[in-house]
Every structure is written in C-alpha cells, then in structure tokens.
Structure 1
Amino acid sequence: MIAQPYQLYVERRDTVRNMARFYALSIEPTLFGEVCLTRRWGRIGARGQAKCHTFEREEEAVQLFLGLLRGKRKRGYHAISREPANRASTLASCALGDATGTLALKKDARMASAE
C-alpha cells in the first residue's frame, strides 16, 4: 500500500534548439500488491513513450523517483503547474463566500426563531 501519492511533471524548453520536452513520473500500486514507478517522456504535445518499473517495496520506488528527479533538474527541467495560477485563490474566495453565506443564513434563522 502506498502511503502517499507521488506525481511529477517537468518540462524543458529551448527555442533556439527547437526543444520542447516533457517528463512525468508517478508511483502507483499494482493489482498484485506491488508498486509501479511509471515514467513518461517525449516532445510536448506528442504522446511520447512510457516505461514501468515494478518494485516490491515503496521505498525502492521512491529512491528511483528521487534519483530521476535529480537527474532531470541537472539537465534543466522545471516543474510546471497543470492548473491555472489563480485557481487556488479562486477556490479560496469561493470557499470564503460559501462560509460567509452559510453563517449569514444561520444568523437569519436564529433571529427568525427568536421573534
């Protein structure tokens, strides 16, 4: 069983060399109780290639995950967020708006029951 999900998506772009590459890593459980480190890579916008490394223990998969991450960072890959930058603030403001509205409704209900 995996203690926590591991996922990484990094890109390397160099317009001078016409380079636009992606590299993705994820650690997931298999149907047989093992752990699979899946690597996907290729040109951005293309399907790319994939390879799965199977391990008996999560720790072994995490060690390879971190080693591959270090190698990609040395080669100039950078983490890219797949969500819009302002999504977190939008979600936070929606949550605050919902909480404020709920509090106002509860306050109105208490006032109505007191009358």
Structure 2
Amino acid sequence: MSNSETAPLHLHRIDPDRNMRRFYALAIQPTLFGGASVVRNWGRIGTAGQSMMQTFDAVGEADGALSRLARSKRRRGYRDADTNETS
C-alpha cells in the first residue's frame, strides 16, 4: 500500500462568524478479501461525530473515491487540519 492509503486525511472548516467548527476525516483500510474500504468520520470539532464505511473491490477504486471526496470537501471550504489558518 502507498503512503496515501495508510495516512488518514484530516480536514476542518472553521467560521467563527457562523459558529461553525467542523471536521472531516478520511482513511483507507484494507479488507480481509483483498479490497479496501474508505472510512469517513465527520461532525462538530470536540464531538465523536458520525462514521460511514464504503467498501471497494480494488484499492485503486478506494483511492479514487477518497480523492474525489477530499476534492469535494475542499471546494466546500474545508482545509487541511495541520495548517495554521485563521478564518
């Protein structure tokens, strides 16, 4: 597996004017049958949030789905959690 598959992606969206503090986490986990699952976790920062798992037959399909989800969230204003941005 490549580094993008093993390293989870943590995004956040913080807008104090709208009282918005959200997170979105994405990770790929292997399945027992050679496929891969995209695990999503989202919610308000400071809570456990909600989770969803989507399973694919091939790791490449899961990698593509993770990339599409990350691109979609970034278009909606989510940023990498490790960057120090002030909004």
> What corresponds to 2:23 in structure 1?
22
Q: Residue 16 of structure 1 aligns to a residue in which SS? A: helix
TM superposition score normalised by structure 2: 0.85
For the pair 1:57 / 2:65, whether they are aligned, the reply is no
Moved over 3 A (4+): none
> How many pairs does the alignment contain?
81
| Structure possessing the higher radius of gyration over alpha carbons | 1
> What corresponds to 2:42 in structure 1?
41
> Unmatched 5+ residue regions in structure 2?
none
- Percent identical among aligned pairs is 44
CA distance in 2, matches of 1:45, 1:33: 34
Using CA pairs under 8 Å that are at least 6 residues apart, name the structure with larger relative contact order, 1 or 2.
Answer: 2
TM superposition score normalised by structure 1: 0.65
Structure with the largest fraction of strand: 2
> Unmatched 5+ residue regions in structure 1?
83-115
Q: What is the Cα-based RMSD across aligned positions, in Å?
A: 1.5
CA distance in 1, matches of 2:62, 2:34: 13
